[in-house]
Structure 1
Amino acid sequence: MVAGFLALRLYSVLGKRTGHEQALPKPAEERVAMPPVTRTLDAAPEPRESLNRAIEPGAEAGLRSVIAADSSFDVNQFVEGAKSAYRMILEAFWKGDEETLAWLVDEEVRAAFLQSIAERKALGQTLDNRLVSIERATIAGASLEAKVARIAMRFDADVVAVTRDAEGAVVAGSMSDAITTHDVWTFARNLRSDDPNWKLVETDEA
């Protein structure tokens, strides 16, 4: 039942238009939440400049290929969904929630996450991290090859990062100071597949 819920949740927030999308509840400090809207690269009810703020130069051609191959794809809803997935994946990694990670990331990324989690457990350490805000989320690139769509998202975020030892004492970081992170995460989906979920396939620092 939990696995089914997670798959349904990811489907609801990444790149599909059903008219009933609702992203995961966000903490009060999230300053970038926007209501879901129906918008594609070529049909925007708001000025074109508004949509372009979410698309970096060089990504538009790839996005047009994705839209041509999947008419249900929506740019703005993908961006909003990617932000929700960013939060979900970070929180699962910080908590060591391997089951959630299995549904949100592909095997290679999951293996790297699990190795880091195992090393953390071996040291008796836990992460007391918190995503304070996502200051910027833009599509940095997009491509379509053999019906596999890949979209790279650039995230600028503020994170409180604290590492505690087995006794709960802080060994690194501070609860009072947030650090700014710059990440580029790539999500992918096989458009031939009946599985509607996008998964994280690559992570990098911007």
Structure 2
Amino acid sequence: MFASNLDNIIKKAGFSSSESFSTFLSEQFSYNISKESITKYRNGTRTPDPKFIEIVLKATGEDASALFGGQQSNIKFVPIVGSASCGIPLPNSYQDIENKAFCKSEIWHSDLYAIIANGDSMIPEIDDGDEVICDPKADILSGDIVHYQINDESAIKVFFKDENIGVIEFVPFNQNGDFKTLKFRIDDDSVYIKMSKVIAINKSKMNNRQARLKAINRI
């Protein structure tokens, strides 16, 4: 059923061939996939990964029911609720509240949410523009990446807790220039910190290329 549904929505969207659909995904979504792979997905000889499914739904304007019908899907969709700085903490500026990110069904629950990363202080793990899946119910330990909110500021960094001196820190991977570690006393009641653990990252193909160029000092 999935393969025939996929074939139908590609045709419905106006693409006469797998090649034309492959070109469209590359040009409009920076998602590179061969026409041969798309054909195998359409005839049911290969199972697509969740990222391809997410891109297809965005590209065709369909929802998951158009692909899966009553079948159980191996992906779930998570609301994108805002943006978070990977750099200097900034107010949430994300506007497209109708958008959604995907995650695997085995990690999904109804409290998950997603945010869009802004900045490059968490490269190479998180690039500017990546979709970051957060779990507000997960236990947080030193070394976990977290999305934290302090007042109206929203940012992503590595969490560290030093019980010996009573301090918690939020540490960026890249500590250059303006990318600084934030420190707070554990017993400081004047600061309210809300945290969620980062449990998955949906990478942007385009941003991965940008990160590699930065790594070799070409941009």
Larger Rg: 2
TM-score (norm 2): 0.28
Higher helix proportion (structure 1 or 2): 1
Greater RCO structure (CA 8 Å; 6+ sep): 1
TM-score (norm 1): 0.29
